Each structure stands twice: as C-alpha cells, then as structure tokens.
Amino acid sequence: MERENLGQIELFSGASGQTPAKRRAPVDFLSFIFGYEKVILIIIGFMITGIICFSLGIERGKRITSAVRQNVLLKSPLPAAQQTTNQGQIKPAIQIQATPKPKEKDAGNFTIQVASYQSNASAKKEAELLKQKGFSPQIKPSGKYTVLCVGSFSSKETAKFALSQLKSRYRDCFIRRL
C-alpha cells in the first residue's frame, strides 16, 4: 500500500504542472507603503511648520512687549493726557475721581527703592539716568550705603504702576515707606 502525500502536492503544486492562483505583486505592497509614508511625511511637515510659526510668534510678541515697555518708560504720562481748550487752558483728558482713604497701616508716603550703592557717585550717576527718563529720583544715605529711590506715592496701589515700569531695568526694586 502506497500512501499519497497530498500535503506535499499542495505545497509544491507547481511541480505537478498546475499553475498557482495569481498572487499580488510586491510592487503593489511597496506602493501601498509609500502612500502611507507620503501622508506621514506631510503630517510631520505640517507639525514642523506649526512649531516654527508658533516660536516666531512668541519672539515677535516679546519684541512688541519690550518696545511697549520702553515707550512707557521713555514717555511721561502727563503731556499725553492733556488737551488744550479754546481759551488756551490745559484740560486733562482723564478725569481723576477721589479715592477712598487708605487703611491706617498703609497710610503714609511710599517710594520705590531701585538700588543701593556703596559710593555716592554711582548713585548720583544712576539718578541722572533716571531723570533723563522722566522719573524723580531721590538719594538717601543709609549706613555705609547710599539708597536710590524713585517717586513719592500716597499708597502702594499708585506705586505699583511705576514699579512695573522699573522692573524691566531694575529686577530687585521694591515699594517701601519713606
């Protein structure tokens, strides 16, 4: 008894003269893969473009913000807020309303301490620079140091605006009592 090995015939069906069923060519598979690669590359391209645009926008925003800060420091708010009437009198553009009295603990004069120097000459030199920018500097001796302050304010809230202007140049400046 001879046994036929059918599994082997099926495996090697081309040997017996039968043609195998038509298979897909490898070129179709590669074109399928290359199609997905193009989509992935396009997505990566969009992501890189988005990141570059975002970072350029951030840099532009920083430049605009620093330019605005420089303009605020260089310009005095008084001339910009004034208008003249027909009779030649100066009329303020912004009406100031009476503010409520500050609490007892905040009552008094406040100033912004910009820096402290060991030599009085350095403090005077920096005070001249502040005068040129439109601020009113004050030099006060304190022990063996000379303290440079700017402005005289009735409350901390009024000093906060000038403090925000000075923080760009003097990082450690702060509000203190006179």
In this predicted model, what pLDDT tens digit does every residue of 63-90 receive, in sequence order? 888 777 766 555 544 444 444 455 555 5
First to last CA, the chain: 120
Overall number of domains in the chain: 2
- Domain limits for position 60: 26-92
Q: What span, in angstroms and rounded, lies between the C-alpha atoms of 115 and 23?
A: 84
What CATH number is associated with residue 165?
3.30.70.1070
Whether residue 121 contacts residue 137, with contact meaning beta carbons closer than 8 Å, is answered with no
Residue 43 belongs to some domain of the structure: yes
Q: What is the DSSP string of 92-108?
A: ESSPPPPPPPPPTTT-S
Residue 76 belongs to some domain of the structure: yes
The tens place of each residue's pLDDT in the chain, 178 residues long, gives 565 555 555 555 555 555 555 555 556 666 667 778 888 889 999 999 999 999 999 999 888 887 777 665 555 444 444 444 555 555 554 444 544 554 545 445 899 999 999 989 999 999 999 899 888 899 999 889 999 999 888 888 888 888 888 888 888 899 998 7
Strand segments, DSSP code E, in the chain are: 82-84, 90-92, 110-117, 137-142, 145-153, 174-177
Beta strand 174-177 pairing with 90-92: unpaired
Whether residue 146 contacts residue 116, with contact meaning beta carbons closer than 8 Å, is answered with yes
Q: Are 107 and 84 in the same domain?
A: no
Q: Are 88 and 107 in the same domain?
A: no
Whether residue 74 contacts residue 165, with contact meaning beta carbons closer than 8 Å, is answered with no
Q: Are 115 and 64 in the same domain?
A: no
Nearest Cα to Cα of residue 123 among 134, 115, 131: 115
Q: Are 88 and 125 in the same domain?
A: no
Nearest Cα to Cα of residue 72 among 163, 148, 170: 163
pLDDT value of residue 146: 93
pLDDT value of residue 16: 54
Residue 81 belongs to some domain of the structure: yes
Q: How many helices (H) and strands (E) does the chain have?
A: 5, 6
pLDDT value of residue 108: 56
